Amino acid sequence: MASDGSGLNRFRDAEDARKRALLQVEAGRRLARQGALQAARRLFRQAVEIDPSCTPAWLQLAWVTQETRERKALLRRVLALEPEHAQAAAELARLRRLREGEAAQGPSRKWHLRPWVWATLIIMALLFLGAALIWGPVDSSLARLLPTAVPTPSPTPTRTPAQIADQFLPQLEEAVAAEAWGRALEIVAIMVGVDPAGEEVRQRALATRLQYGQSLVEAGEMAQALVQFDEAASIVPDDAQALLWRDTTRDYLAGVEALVLSDWPTAVQTFVRAYERFPDYGDLAERLAETYRRQGEAAIEEEAWDAAITSLSEGHERFPDDASLAGLLATAYRERGILWQQDGKLKKAQADLEAALALRPDDAEAQAHLDKVMYILFPPKRIEIDISKQRFYAWEGDTLVYNFPTSTGLRGRDTATGRFKVLDKIPMAYSSIWRLKMPYWLGIYYVGRIENGIHALPIRPDGSVMWGGLLGQRASYGCVILSTKAAEIIYNWAEIGTEVHIHN
C-alpha cells in the first residue's frame, strides 16, 4: 500500500519545532544566569509558542515567574505534560504547604513548631534547592539567599556561548531576507546576550543594523535610519561602513533642516560634504540639486546676478543634465549680460550673452542683445557701389571708412546691380580674353563662365595701365575699377564673404 509520506513530514516538523524550542530554552537559561530575567522570560515564552509540549520551557517559565499563582499554573502545565515530573511536583507541593501554613497561622499567630518539623522543612528545602540547581535557575529572590551549588554534570556536552548563538543564525537570516527587521533585531539581541564577547556575534549585529538602516534610507526615513547607524557604530566603533552611513545621514538631516529654514549656504555646505563622501546615498543628489535651484531662484528674484550665477554654475557643473538648473543659469547670464550692455561694458556683455545662448540656444532675447553688442564690437564690413555717382564706399557697420572714385562697365557692358558677396581674392588675376593683368582682384559675380570683380587699373601686355584718367566715369568691360592704391587698400580690408551692394 503506497504512502504519501504525510506522517513522516509531520514527524519531521515536530522534531524541528522541538529543536528550535530547546534552543530558545538554552539561550534563555544563559540569559537568566546573567540576571537578564526579562529577556530570558521572553525566550521561554517563544519556546512554548514554537512547541507547546516542551516541558523544559514551561518549567523555566515557572522559575523566572515572581507571582505565586502564575507559578502554580505553570507547574500544573508541566505536570499535565509529564505527570511524574518530580521537580515540578515538589515545588508545587512546597507552594501549597506554604499557602496552607500561612492560612492556618493567621495574621497574629506565632510560630510554635516542634524540632522534628524544623528538621523536615530544612531537609525539604535542601532537596528543593538541589533540584533547582540541577534543572535550572531559581527564582531571583531565592538565588540571593541561597549559596550556589555545583550542578550535577549533564550527560550531554555543554555548548559554548558561541555555539548557542550560532544556532540562531538560520532564524536571523530568514528574518533579514523577509525584511522582518523587528524580529531580526530581537534575534540579534538574544545572540549578543548569549555571547556578548563574541566577535562573530558583533559582526552579525553590525550587519543587521546596517542593512536595516539602509532599507530605511531607501524608504526615505533618514531619522529612523540614523538610530540604526548610531547603534552599528557603537557596536564596532572603527567600522568604515558604519561611520560612512552614520556621518552621511547626519549631514543629510542637517542639510534638510537648513533647506527648510532657507539657510542656503548651510544647506549647500552640508549636502555637498555628504555628496562628496557618498554620492549614491538615497535621494541626496536630488536634494543637493534642489538646494542649488532654490538658492539660484532666490538670488534671481533679488536680482543678485553674481550670486545667482555662482550658485547655479556650481550646481550645473555637478548636475549638467538638470534642465531646470541650466535654464535658471541661462536666465542669470542673460540678465547680467544686458546690464553690462547698458553700462557700455560690451566685452563682458558679449561673454555673458554667449554663455546664455550656449545653455539655451533658442533664447531670442539673448540673441537680439548679442547681435547688437556684436554689431558695435565687430561692425560688419560691406561695400557699396553707386553707379550713378561712380563712387565706391566701404562701410563698417554704420561708419563709412573708405570713399573712392570708381569706374563701372560701359553701357552695353554694364556692371550688374544687386547684392553680392566677395567670392575670392587673387593678388594678380589674368584675363586670357583681354590679355590683361588685374591687380588686387576681388571676384563678386559670374556672367556665364566669366567672373566679374573689383580690381585695380588693368595692365596691358606692354606694361602700360589702362583707364588711368577715366576713374569717376564708366570705362570698364563690366568690372569695378579702382586706382591701384585704393584697390590695394580694399583688397587688404575686405574678406571673403563681405557684402557688396551695387545700385544705380
Does residue 218 share a domain with residue 282?
yes
- In the predicted structure, residue 441 carries a pLDDT above the cut 50: yes
- Please tell me the predicted confidence (pLDDT) of residue 154: 44
User: What pLDDT, in 10s, does the model give residues 117-137?
Assistant: 555 666 665 555 555 444 444
- In the predicted structure, residue 101 carries a pLDDT above the cut 70: no
- Please tell me the predicted confidence (pLDDT) of residue 498: 98
- In the predicted structure, residue 394 carries a pLDDT above the cut 60: yes
Q: What is the mean pLDDT of residues 298-327?
A: 97
Does residue 353 share a domain with residue 396?
no
At 33, the pLDDT band (50, 70, 90 cuts) reads confident
- The widest CA-to-CA distance across the chain, in whole angstroms, is 165
- In the predicted structure, residue 151 carries a pLDDT above the cut 50: no
- Please tell me the predicted confidence (pLDDT) of residue 238: 93
- Please tell me the predicted confidence (pLDDT) of residue 409: 97
- Please tell me the predicted confidence (pLDDT) of residue 73: 85
* Residue 154 forms part of a structural domain: no
Does residue 402 share a domain with residue 295?
no
C-alpha–C-alpha distance, residues 180 and 183, integer Å? 6
Does residue 414 share a domain with residue 281?
no
- Please tell me the predicted confidence (pLDDT) of residue 121: 61
User: What pLDDT, in 10s, does the model give residues 155-205?
Assistant: 556 789 999 889 999 999 999 999 999 999 999 999 998 899 899 999 999
Domain residues for 213? 166-373
Does residue 335 share a domain with residue 195?
yes
Does residue 297 share a domain with residue 244?
yes
Which cell numbers hold the place of 357?
A: 545662448
Of residues 317 and 141, more confidence is placed in: 317
* Residue 3 forms part of a structural domain: no
- In the predicted structure, residue 497 carries a pLDDT above the cut 50: yes
Does residue 206 share a domain with residue 137?
no
* Residue 2 forms part of a structural domain: no
- In the predicted structure, residue 3 carries a pLDDT above the cut 60: no
> Which strands, in side-by-side order, build the sheet including 418-421?
399-405, 391-396, 381-386, 499-503, 418-421
SS3 51: coil
Of residues 97 and 372, more confidence is placed in: 372
> Which of 323, 347, 373 delimits the end of a domain?
373
> Which of 373, 391, 416 delimits the end of a domain?
373
User: What pLDDT, in 10s, does the model give residues 442-463?
Assistant: 999 999 999 999 999 999 999 9
The CATH number given to whatever domain includes residue 364 is 1.25.40
User: What pLDDT, in 10s, does the model give residues 423-432?
Assistant: 999 999 999 9
Q: What is the mean pLDDT of residues 79-103?
A: 77
At 112, the pLDDT band (50, 70, 90 cuts) reads very low
Does residue 415 share a domain with residue 324?
no
SS3 81: helix
Closest CA to 91 of 57, 53, 51, 60: 60
Q: What is the mean pLDDT of residues 315-331?
A: 97
Dihedral sign for Cα atoms in the order 387, 388, 391, 395: negative
DSSP secondary structure string, 359-395?
H-TT-HHHHHHHHHHHHHHSPPEEEEEETTTTEEEEE
Instruction: Give the number of residues written for the chain.
Output: 504
* Residue 287 forms part of a structural domain: yes
The DSSP symbol for 3 reads -
Q: How many domains does the chain divide into?
A: 3
Per-chain mean pLDDT for the chain: 87
> Which of 373, 392, 416 delimits the end of a domain?
373
- The percentage of the chain sitting over the pLDDT mark of 70, rounded to a whole number, equals 86
Q: What residue has cell string 571673403?
A: 496
* Residue 233 forms part of a structural domain: yes
* Residue 232 forms part of a structural domain: yes
Does residue 363 share a domain with residue 214?
yes
- In the predicted structure, residue 152 carries a pLDDT above the cut 50: no
Does residue 445 share a domain with residue 347?
no
* Residue 159 forms part of a structural domain: no
- Please tell me the predicted confidence (pLDDT) of residue 347: 97
- In the predicted structure, residue 302 carries a pLDDT above the cut 70: yes
Does residue 393 share a domain with residue 313?
no
Closest CA to 441 of 428, 431, 452, 451: 428
Does residue 399 share a domain with residue 365?
no
Q: What is the mean pLDDT of residues 406-419?
A: 97
- Please tell me the predicted confidence (pLDDT) of residue 129: 54
The CATH number given to whatever domain includes residue 60 is 1.25.40.10
- In the predicted structure, residue 79 carries a pLDDT above the cut 70: yes
- Bridging pattern class, strands 399-405 and 480-482: unpaired
* Residue 157 forms part of a structural domain: no
Of residues 399 and 83, more confidence is placed in: 399
